[in-house]
Amino acid sequence: MTEPRTLYEKIWDAHVVERRDDGTCIVFIDRHLVHEVTSPQAFEGLRAAGRTVRRPDLTLAVPDHNLPTTARRDAAGNRVPIADPMSAKQLEALEANAPAFGIRYIDDAAPEQGIVHVVGPEQGFTLPGCTLVCGDSHTAAHGALGALAFGIGTSEVEHVLATQTLLLKQSKTMEIRIEGALGFGVSPKDVVLAIIGRIGAAGGTGHVIEYTGSTIRDMSIEGRLTVSNMSIEAGARAGLIAPDAKTLAYIKGRPMAPSGPDWDAAMQWWRSLPTDDGARYDTHVTLDAGDIAPNVTWGTSPEDVVPITGSVPDPDSFEDESKRAAAAKSLDYMGLTPGQRMEDVAVDTIFIGSCTNSRIEDLRAAAEVAKGRRIADGIKQALVVPGSGLVKLQAEREGLDRVFIEAGFEWREPGCSMCLGMNPDKVPPGQRCASTSNRNFVGRQGPGARTHLVSPAMAAAAAVTGKLTDIREMMG
């Protein structure tokens, strides 16, 4: 009998190529997603060293980070020039590097184009039990399908391109168990914000998380993607969820997923992956789903979470000295005062999008709120940016685009957009944004931008009232 193992340990063991004395392992990488921002220097490095891409067949390239979300082709089918010359250059570099190194490339105007972390699962590129990397820290998202997925730096991108492996040491494991049914108006985004609020932005450092419990089991795959996506905001490099019948149903029939006899063989291995009874995790955290309310952030770290019914905390209320100083600085940046009720905070901008919340279920949740309503007069911009061209098409088939446009939202082309403001979609200095993205860092959505992280339904509700709003009251 082998020792009982966790999901993470099973995937790890299956991918170790070679172990060195100091515990560093050469780990095989099954899947590599490449985008335009963190790859140019890696390709340049390959060229300089006269190296090739070892496994172009396991690599998929798609531009997303700095593409404009306005029309990309004119009526004649020609590219609408990208105003920022540096962004244009990064896109051109990827367009040239992918074919030069034999890598499959999804064009910026293709219906399959979208945010890497939306495209991977959607295309069936992401599979349970595989190791998957990308030069972007929210790669953790793919863990929702039971893949060991994490973000890497540019030198590591080059390392994977050249060797299809990475040098890694095994991480510690953390089980985050959530049990019970979510209340009305409480979404997967609220669950992950509650987790980060509970364990802190560094709580998962050095760990790979596995999310377990009935709340996760009952969650849709899209909801699970939202939860795993933000693992990195709790400091963990990866956040896994065991594959189950829902996972397999989600993957089956996707363009790049195994089919026919391959499917049956793959399924056998996937079914052996869930953590064995008696396997041990290094750390445990448990949450009761019934305690989770719709959440909002008040500060400049994703751990700065309060329920929408709460108020801005007093920096002096924190025990930790450095947290006190950080909170005071955050409040100053955010333009908030201690004791202010979150529901009284007026917003200027709404962003519904990002790899955290831009899939069809997210758009449906937001549209349900927007339907038959209008955005408030004070709202200066309200963007809906689907996660991929396919999500956009599906939403249009369901008429969601009409719902948003009639309510006063802008309906855009897919990409990262206002999540990080590398393209023209930025929150202007000093303005306040209710955003479905994943980072409320200083300047993340543009210099001086103030971000409140919320769920898609909560973002739509804020658009309608012009301030942070308890979705349960609006829809209940």
Query: Which chain residues interact with ligand SF4 by CB under 6 A?
Result: 64-65, 115-117, 136, 138, 354-355, 416, 419-420, 437-438
The interaxial angle of helices 360-370 and 389-397, nearest 10 deg, is: 40
CB 234 within 8 A of CB 204: yes
- Report if residue 159 touches another protein, rule: CB under 8 A: yes
Nearer to ligand SF4, 65 or 392 (CB): 65
Query: In whole angstroms, how close is the CB of 418 to ligand SF4 at the nearest point?
Result: 9
- Report if residue 307 touches another protein, rule: CB under 8 A: no
- Report if residue 288 touches another protein, rule: CB under 8 A: no
* Residue from the set 163, 220, 309, 340 that interacts with another protein by CB under 8 A: 163
Query: In whole angstroms, how close is the CB of 353 to ligand SF4 at the nearest point?
Result: 7
Burial of 54 (0-12, 13-18, 19+ CB in 10 A): middle
**First and final CA of the chain: distance in angstroms?**
53
* Residue from the set 7, 62, 119, 130 that interacts with another protein by CB under 8 A: 130
Nearer to another protein, 31 or 189 (CB): 31
Indicate the pairing of strand 305-307 with strand 295-297.
Answer: antiparallel
Q: How far is residue 461's CA from residue 440's CA, in Å, rounded to a whole number?
A: 19
- Report if residue 340 touches another protein, rule: CB under 8 A: no
Local structure of 201: helix, strand or coil:
coil
Indicate the pairing of strand 207-212 with strand 238-240.
Answer: parallel
Residues 61-90 within binding reach of another protein (CB under 8 A): 66, 84, 86-87, 89-90
Partner that binds at residue 189, options another protein, ligand SF4, none, CB closer than 5 to 8 Å by kind: none
Nearer to ligand SF4, 141 or 289 (CB): 141
Sheet architecture: strand order including 207-212: 238-240, 207-212, 172-179, 283-288
CA–CA distances in Å: residue 415 to residues 64, 72, 109, 117, 386: 5, 12, 11, 11, 7
Query: In whole angstroms, how close is the CB of 449 to another protein at the nearest point?
Result: 14
Q: Which residues of this chain interact with another protein, rule CB under 8 A?
A: 17-18, 22, 26, 28, 30-31, 37, 40-41, 44-45, 49, 51, 54-55, 57-58, 60, 66, 84, 86-87, 89-90, 93, 104, 124-125, 127, 130, 153-155, 158-159, 162-165, 167, 255-259, 262-263, 265-266, 269, 422
